[in-house]
Amino acid sequence: MKRDDTRRELKYEVLKEVAELKFNDNLNDETIDRIPYKIIPGATPKFRCCVYKEREIIRQRVKLAMTKPPIPAHNVENFKITGNIIQVIPAACEGCPINRFQVTENCQKCMAKACQHACAFGAITITGRGAYIDQDKCRECGRCAEACPYHAIADLMRPCKRSCDVGAISIGGDKLAVIDESKCIACGHCAQACPFGAISDISIITEIIDAIKSDKRTVAIPAPAVEGQFGPTATVGKVITALKKLGFDDVYEVALGGDAVSYFEAKELIENKEAGKKMTTSCCPAFANLIRKHYPALIDNISSTVSPMQAVYRWVKKNDPDAYVVFIGPCMAKKDEAKYFDDDIAVMTFEELNAVFDARHIDPNECEETPSLATSYGRRFSGSGGVAASVAKAVNELGYTGDEIKLKACNGAAECKVGLAMMKAGKLPEDIIEGMACEGGCIAGPGAIELVNKLKVARMKKIKGKDGDNITEMLTKTDFMDVDMHRKFK
């Protein structure tokens, strides 16, 4: 399955080539060197200035696909090597305009001089050719652009920087983007925003393929957002069959973990409500990172319940401690979550699985349906507001009769920041914040395949709450009640 997006296509081609070579036991220095020439054949460039630059981009992408930082082998530029999940690909970073506000040809040299009067830093002068911005004085406040009646001042902030709600991206002296690990919440929005695909996530597909080919029992746990990702007819049941054809011994929906989180988080919410304490959900790892790194005073307000991914991992491990468990979803931040906790989970995105499926010529749309375990409430975790709705259902099932519990669903990192600021200031009227760093929820994650506007309507019709669904009964039926659901940090 391909998308009409050159950035995504290049990433897909690299992942597919690496997966094919790994499955065929043919991934070595010689075959790795051939990949750039297979993807970029001939001497005519396809999308950059020359084939040499294009091939270097492919080489650096191959490194990412093999769990390595995308730094050139020689590294004479002395690029900093970091352990961040989200990485800048040096060869692909175009060196976007570093001066944010620039006067365009639309400037009419008007007599009002609105831009100059709006600038509090004396950065603007009016010349015979029009307004001029002294970049040494400019503080990028944007008042000049707002004041200009002709919209003649362009805001050229880099898309990656504009997309980052936590200010983790800066521009280095070499005009390449730099990600500050101390601020980065691993949401992956910068990877989505970069028009040149110069930011991407590190992959461990080679390790996962090794596990599939070994004698280990391998278990895939796809996220609730899987419905519709691999095509219009690729239901959860068909994807489960496709994963078994790929080589996984067992497959369980993470939506079942969503049911478990709803139940245990509802119990925690009732206790906090009675104690007069506000709390937040803990399912979205980027949201949890936002609190840990930018609102540390609220760390104790994060739910102590594990995420649905960790819940299913523990449920699998309860019966088979030696199982190799792979979470598959649309979220890059899940790779970051796996680093923080005792639960040793392997993580793969839908993008990566798509390439691996194609490397093995598996189409989920053509697979048989396999039954799965989860309520429609657990499956709604993938959309904004879904966690809140599921927790509310569990609260009702627990027979809570106290004062009304109020839930606030924050859709996107910007809304999350507003909600957390209110909680920190003691002005949050609700009892719990559901935080989703991606607007629309997990289905809009940076590791997804299908466009979110295509997924929303079709998915929600299939998975909206059913009258007969009972979270408590599902957890009892699946022997989930005695699973340890408390977070444990490394």
Q: What letters, b where the CB count within 10 A reaches 16 and e where it falls short, cover 422-439? A: bbeeeebebbbbbbbbbe
- Give 390-431 pLDDT, tens digit per residue: 999 999 999 998 889 999 999 999 999 999 999 999 999 999
Give residue 462's pLDDT.
Answer: 58
What's the CA gap between 402 and 404, in Å, rounded? Answer: 6
Which residue has 């051939």 as its token pair?
Answer: 34
The reported pLDDT for the residue numbered 132 is 96
The pLDDT of residue 3 = 62
Whole-angstrom Cα Rg for the chain = 24
The confidence band for 228, taking pLDDT boundaries of 50, 70 and 90, is confident
* Averaged pLDDT, 306-312: 96
Four-CA torsion 308, 311, 312, 317, nearest 10 degrees: 160
Q: Is 167 exposed, middle or buried (0-12, 13-18, 19+ CB in 10 A)?
A: exposed
Q: Which two tokens stand for residue 360?
A: 């093995």
CB 62 within 8 A of CB 73: no
Given a cut of 80, whether residue 95 has pLDDT beyond it is no
Mean pLDDT, the chain, whole residue set:
92
* Closest of 278, 331, 274, 335 to residue 303, by C-alpha: 278
Mean pLDDT score, 278-283: 96
Round to whole Å and give the CA distance between 378 and 315. Answer: 15
* Residue 248 vs residue 129, higher pLDDT: 248
Picking from 46, 37, 80, 85, the residue whose alpha carbon sits closest to that of residue 64 is: 85
| Tokens read off for 89 | 């690909």
- Per the model's pLDDT, the better-predicted residue between 472 and 454 turns out to be 472
CB 435 within 8 A of CB 423: no
Per-residue confidence band for 458, with pLDDT thresholds at 50, 70 and 90: low
- Which of the pair, 279 or 468, is modelled with greater confidence? 279
What pLDDT, on the 0 to 100 scale, is given for residue 461? 56
Residue-wise pLDDT for 157-173, tens only, equals 899 999 999 999 998 87
287 in Cβ contact with 308 (< 8 Å): no
pLDDT in tens, 8-62: 999 999 999 999 999 999 999 999 999 999 999 999 998 888 999 999 999 999 9
Q: How far apart are CA 415 and CA 484, in angstroms?
A: 31
| 302 Cβ contact list (under 8 Å, min separation 6) | 279, 280, 282, 288, 291
pLDDT surpassing 80 at residue 454: no
Cβ–Cβ < 8 Å for 445, 330:
yes
Q: What is the mean pLDDT of residues 292-307?
A: 96
- SS3 annotation, the chain: CCCCCHHHHHHHHHHHHHHHHHHCCCCCHHHHHHHHHHHCCCCCCCCCCCHHHHHHHHHHHHHHHCCCCCCCCCCCCCCCCCCCCEEECCCCCCCCCCCCEEECCCCCCCCCCHHHHHCCCCCEEEECCEEEECCCCCCCCCHHHHHCCCCCEEECCCHHHHHCCCCCEEECCCCCEEECCCCCCCCCHHHHHCCCCCEEECCCHHHHHHHHHCCCCEEEEECHHHCCCCCCCCCHHHHHHHHHHHCCCEECCCHHHHHHHHHHHHHHHHHHHHHCCCEECCCCHHHHHHHHHHCHHHHHHECCECCHHHHHHHHHHHHCCCCEEEEEECCCHHHHHHHHECCCCEEEEHHHHHHHHHHCCCCHHHCCCCCCCCCHHHHHHHCCCHHHHHHHHHHHHCCCCCCCCCEEEEECHHHHHHHHHHHHCCCCCCCEEEEECCCCCHHHCCCCCCCHHHHHHHHHHHHCCCCCCCHHHHHHHCCCCCCCCECCEC
pLDDT tens digits along 335-362:
999 987 767 899 999 999 999 999 999 9
Indicate the pLDDT class of residue 4, thresholds 50, 70 and 90.
Answer: low
CA distances from 442 to 201, 284, 359, 377, 415 (A): 17, 8, 26, 15, 15
pLDDT in tens, 75-93: 767 788 888 999 999 999 9
Answer yes or no: are the C-beta atoms of 165 and 414 closer than 8 Å.
Answer: yes
pLDDT at res. 456: 65
- Give the C-alpha separation, 195 to 216, whole Å: 40
How far is CA 486 from each of CA 10, 258, 260, 489, rounded to the nearest angstrom?
40, 14, 12, 10
Give the Å distances, CA to CA, from 428 to 295, 297, 335, 416, 467. Answer: 15, 15, 31, 12, 32
> What is the pLDDT averaged over residues 468-474?
90
Q: For residues 234 and 377, what is the distance between their CA atoms, to the nearest angstrom?
A: 20
Kindly indicate the confidence band of residue 238, based on its pLDDT and cuts at 50, 70 and 90.
Answer: very high
Strands 218-222 and 199-201, sheet pairing: unpaired
